[in-house]
Amino acid sequence: MSGKHFYVTTPIYYVNDKPHLGHAYTTVATDAKARFHRLRGEPARMLTGTDEHGQKLEQAAAEAGRDPFAFATENSEKFKALWKKLNIAYDDYIRTTEERHKTGVQEIWRRAEAAGDIYKGEYEGKYCVSCENFLTDLQLDEGKCPDCGRPADPVREESYFFRLSKYQEPLLELYERNPRFIQPDSRRNEIVSFVSGGLRDLSVSRTSFKWGVPVPGDPAHVIYVWFDALSNYATAAGFGQSGSGQGGSESGFPADTAWPADQHFIGKDILRFHSVYWPAFLMSAGLPLPGQIFSHGWWTVEGQKMSKSLGNAVDPHWLIEEYGVDAIRYFILREIPFGADGDFSHGQLIDRINSDLANDLGNLLYRTLNMVRRYRGGKISRGEGDGGEEARLAGIVREAAARYEAQMEATDLQAGLRTVWEIVSAGNKYIDAAAPWALAKSGPEERLDSALYHAGAALRVIAALISPVMPEAADSIARQLGLAGDWLSAPFAELVDLYKMPGDLDTDLGKPLFPRIEEDARAALEERVAARIAAGSETVEASDSEGEGLISIDDFRRVELRSARVEAAENIPKSKNLLKIEVSLGEERRTIVAGVARHYAPDELVGRTVVIVANLKPAKLMGVESQGMLLAAEDEDGLRLVGVEGGIRSGSRVR
Ligand code: MSP
């Protein structure tokens, strides 16, 4: 562990859309890890946030007809709302549009530049906007992005490059020196072989859109969104805030910084960015490296790749409403080994709720407190006496708690939970063997008290150990046992020691923690799932432009039409058809190459208010970059431009 805190992070999420199950998974796992460290009495710091720059966001905002920042803010709030509902106890939430981040990113850039690792060139190749990833022809899969399967765009533009090639050896040394830098091992091996195959320098700036952090000293370029996004882990820890300025060599972190992070939790799809680019950027900037990158697997839903319609059936808000927050947190961490892929099925979820939560844990709590109420008027007292069963239970708890600690430490969250259920099962067996109902009839009373104390004490240990994953259930068990409100702040060694439970407790048996989902409720739930899948596909179909040739209102809104005033126009040498036109959209000026030369003389255009498509990809025509398109109507007799009447402000949206 570094510094004063155990510092653990989630990826920062793209805000082009609302959060889904995959995002919830990474975040719940990270939260559970942070809470585990807090449980052990270590201060832990959890960071999450949103990745708000880049072409994907700029496009999504334009499609929605929104200003990028307002659009990002609205979606970032959706992530925050879900984290609240999922009981995520994060300490900091960073948005890459915040000043503290932007200054920090620029400082990392300056340091990399000062190290001689950044140079200007031209990028020519493909770009996947969805993954925000540069791709070579070799990587493409029939013209499509190998990761997300979407078509990749050709890109040719001036770009700064980062000398990634220089870091091939240092990275291999890092993986060698710190074999746990990338986990799980299978993923580490993939990365080692990828890096061993050689690294090409990486394009780290873009010029064809604006939505990003400007390159220091060259604001025509915005910093590549992954360079920007990865830096969040350091900027949130205060990097670049001290005003150290122009690529300084001092640490750049405040004295009490949490950096370096101990662990970055991420999905396997973004491993390369985290385990190759990120440490290389840090090495270049002369900054300490994080301790570990833990890459988890991907969820399918009901055996299929998560799609819009299936996503609707696992919408995290809806899942929480149907099953309860802790059942969901438990299921996603218990169902599959952390690091492997898995399938989310409602049937499996219901089975787990019924067996692990309702039957095993719920029953242990219910039968214990029910007997305490019936035989002892709700009071747990210490009692004397050990029939051998007690010592056995204490031994199992001791051993299991130590094993749990090692498993959670190693981020084997599934194994940690399985270990807790060994205690649950030992608790149930203990009650069967101690048979308090027989002791209640024929005594001795001391033994009855001891049996109820031991069963309650096992529940207290269980509550402590499930608290990182199921914080509400843990608190509810503690409350029902009659423990004090601050029960969880006791030292870990005491929390897992049966005999450290107070010997005089007023219990309060509440409603069942996890009610069983009976057959009729199960059938009704399955119907609701099917209805959601169907509703999800309807939304997808409604937005599908193929079919009857109709488009939805959302499809139409993707086209950003704006009013523009023609400021200047001129012929393009050697072209009979094209005019070069300068238009103003308020603050912004654009050059548009339009095929209107046969219909208008340049002078006729100046001063008119026309309508342009403002979010068209720029294209070069006769050596001039055209940044939009004029709208015009055409028939056999000629072509007339579409205009806007009266004194409308330039740049106004046309709907
Ligand atoms: N913005 C980048 C991360 C930048 S970190 C410096 C990004 N964002 S994301 O919103 O697309 O995804 C974030 C996380 O969600 C990733 O860890 C990804 O693996 C996870 N998941 C997205 N879909 C998933 C599943 N179907 N299953 C499990 N996790 C998945 O990438």
CATH numbers and ranges of domains, the chain: 6-297 (3.40.50.620), 343-506 (1.10.730.10), 549-654 (2.40.50.140)
Q: Which atom of ligand 1 is nearest to the CA of 267?
A: 19
The per-residue pLDDT for 467 is: 98
Cα separation values, 407 from 36, 220, 291, Å: 11, 50, 18
641: Cα within 13 Å, side-chain hemisphere: 26
432 class by beta-carbon count within 10 Å (0-12 exposed, 13-18 middle, 19+ buried): exposed
The per-residue pLDDT for 542 is: 52
The reply to whether ligand 1 has any atom less than 6 angstroms from the CB of 12 is yes
Q: Which atom of ligand 1 is nearest to the CA of 232?
A: 6
Q: Which atom of ligand 1 is nearest to the CA of 268?
A: 19
Q: pLDDT band for 549, please (50, 70, 90 cuts).
A: low
404-407, long-range: CB within 8 Å, 24+ apart, which pairs?
404/465, 405/40, 405/492
Cα torsion angle, 79, 85, 90, 91, sign: positive
The per-residue pLDDT for 536 is: 74
The per-residue pLDDT for 431 is: 97
The reply to whether ligand 1 has any atom less than 6 angstroms from the CB of 155 is no
The per-residue pLDDT for 353 is: 97
The reply to whether ligand 1 has any atom less than 6 angstroms from the CB of 298 is yes
The reply to whether ligand 1 has any atom less than 6 angstroms from the CB of 14 is yes
Residue with CA at minimum distance from ligand 1 atom 30:
22
How close is the Cα of 26 to the center of ligand 1, in Å? 8
- What distance in Å separates the CA atoms of residue 43 and residue 256, rounded to the nearest whole number? 13
User: In the numeric block, which tokens belong to residue 520?
Assistant: 């009729």
Q: pLDDT band for 243, please (50, 70, 90 cuts).
A: low
500: Cα within 13 Å, side-chain hemisphere: 15
124: Cα within 13 Å, side-chain hemisphere: 1
Mean pLDDT of 142-167: 93
- What distance in Å separates the CA atoms of residue 219 and residue 216, rounded to the nearest whole number? 7
Q: Which atom of ligand 1 is nearest to the CA of 229?
A: 6
- What distance in Å separates the CA atoms of residue 212 and residue 58, rounded to the nearest whole number? 9
pLDDT-wise least confident of 407-416, 461-470, 617-626: 617-626
Whether the Cβ atoms of residue 133 and residue 147 lie closer than 8 Å to each other:
yes
The per-residue pLDDT for 435 is: 95
The per-residue pLDDT for 161 is: 97
Cα 465 from chain centre: 25
pLDDT-wise least confident of 72-81, 381-390, 457-466: 381-390
Mean pLDDT of 82-86: 98
Residue with CA at minimum distance from ligand 1 atom 6:
230
How close is the Cα of 164 to the center of ligand 1, in Å? 24
The reply to whether ligand 1 has any atom less than 6 angstroms from the CB of 19 is no
- What distance in Å separates the CA atoms of residue 363 and residue 188, rounded to the nearest whole number? 42
For the chain, what percent of residues have pLDDT higher than 90? 76
Q: Which atom of ligand 1 is nearest to the CA of 301?
A: 26
Position with higher pLDDT, 3 vs 466: 466
The reply to whether ligand 1 has any atom less than 6 angstroms from the CB of 233 is no
Q: pLDDT band for 532, please (50, 70, 90 cuts).
A: confident
pLDDT-wise least confident of 246-250, 487-491, 621-625: 246-250
The per-residue pLDDT for 235 is: 97
Q: Which atom of ligand 1 is nearest to the CA of 265?
A: 17
How close is the Cα of 22 to the center of ligand 1, in Å? 7
Mean pLDDT of 70-78: 96
Mean pLDDT of 486-507: 96
The per-residue pLDDT for 545 is: 41
Residue with CA at minimum distance from ligand 1 atom 19:
267
The per-residue pLDDT for 1 is: 40
Task: Using alpha carbons, select from 6, 458, 489, 552 the residue that is nearest to residue 264.
Answer: 6
The reply to whether ligand 1 has any atom less than 6 angstroms from the CB of 25 is yes
Q: Which atom of ligand 1 is nearest to the CA of 305?
A: 26
The per-residue pLDDT for 558 is: 80
Q: pLDDT band for 637, please (50, 70, 90 cuts).
A: confident
The reply to whether ligand 1 has any atom less than 6 angstroms from the CB of 130 is no
Position with higher pLDDT, 17 vs 620: 17
Q: Give residue-wise pLDDT tens across range 290-324.
A: 999 999 999 998 888 887 777 888 899 999 999 99
The residue to mutate among 232, 269, 281, 312, having the most atoms of ligand 1 within 8 angstroms of its beta carbon, is: 269
The reply to whether ligand 1 has any atom less than 6 angstroms from the CB of 23 is yes
The reply to whether ligand 1 has any atom less than 6 angstroms from the CB of 269 is yes
How close is the Cα of 161 to the center of ligand 1, in Å? 25
- What distance in Å separates the CA atoms of residue 77 and residue 400, rounded to the nearest whole number? 40
How close is the Cα of 160 to the center of ligand 1, in Å? 26
Residue type, 195: V
How close is the Cα of 340 to the center of ligand 1, in Å? 15
Q: Give residue-wise pLDDT tens across range 586-616.
A: 889 999 988 888 899 999 999 999 999 998 8
Residue with CA at minimum distance from ligand 1 atom 29:
22
The residue to mutate among 23, 95, 97, 275, having the most atoms of ligand 1 within 8 angstroms of its beta carbon, is: 23
How close is the Cα of 12 to the center of ligand 1, in Å? 8
| pLDDT at position 178 over 60 | yes
Residue type, 244: S
The per-residue pLDDT for 623 is: 74
How close is the Cα of 182 to the center of ligand 1, in Å? 17
Residue with CA at minimum distance from ligand 1 atom 13:
13
Q: Which atom of ligand 1 is nearest to the CA of 13?
A: 10
User: In the numeric block, which tokens belong to residue 132?
Assistant: 């925000």
The two counts, helices (H) then strands (E), for the chain are: 24, 28
> Before 444, cis peptide (omega within 30)?
yes
How close is the Cα of 42 to the center of ligand 1, in Å? 28
Q: Which residue has the tokens 């499996």?
A: 348
Q: pLDDT band for 539, please (50, 70, 90 cuts).
A: low
Cα separation values, 341 from 55, 145, 274, 528, Å: 29, 21, 19, 26
The residue to mutate among 25, 28, 270, having the most atoms of ligand 1 within 8 angstroms of its beta carbon, is: 270
Report the chain's terminal Cα–Cα distance, integer Å: 56
Q: pLDDT band for 540, please (50, 70, 90 cuts).
A: low
How close is the Cα of 252 to the center of ligand 1, in Å? 29
For the chain, what percent of residues have pLDDT higher than 70? 96
The per-residue pLDDT for 557 is: 78
The per-residue pLDDT for 620 is: 66
How close is the Cα of 274 to the center of ligand 1, in Å? 12
Across the chain, what does the average pLDDT equal?
Answer: 92
The per-residue pLDDT for 272 is: 96
The per-residue pLDDT for 310 is: 79
Q: Give residue-wise pLDDT tens across range 563-593.
A: 999 999 999 887 777 899 999 998 899 999 8
| pLDDT at position 407 over 80 | yes
Q: What is the pTM of this model?
A: 0.82
The residue to mutate among 10, 18, 48, 51, having the most atoms of ligand 1 within 8 angstroms of its beta carbon, is: 51
The reply to whether ligand 1 has any atom less than 6 angstroms from the CB of 22 is yes
How close is the Cα of 298 to the center of ligand 1, in Å? 9
The residue to mutate among 10, 13, 108, 315, having the most atoms of ligand 1 within 8 angstroms of its beta carbon, is: 13
Whether the Cβ atoms of residue 356 and residue 514 lie closer than 8 Å to each other:
no
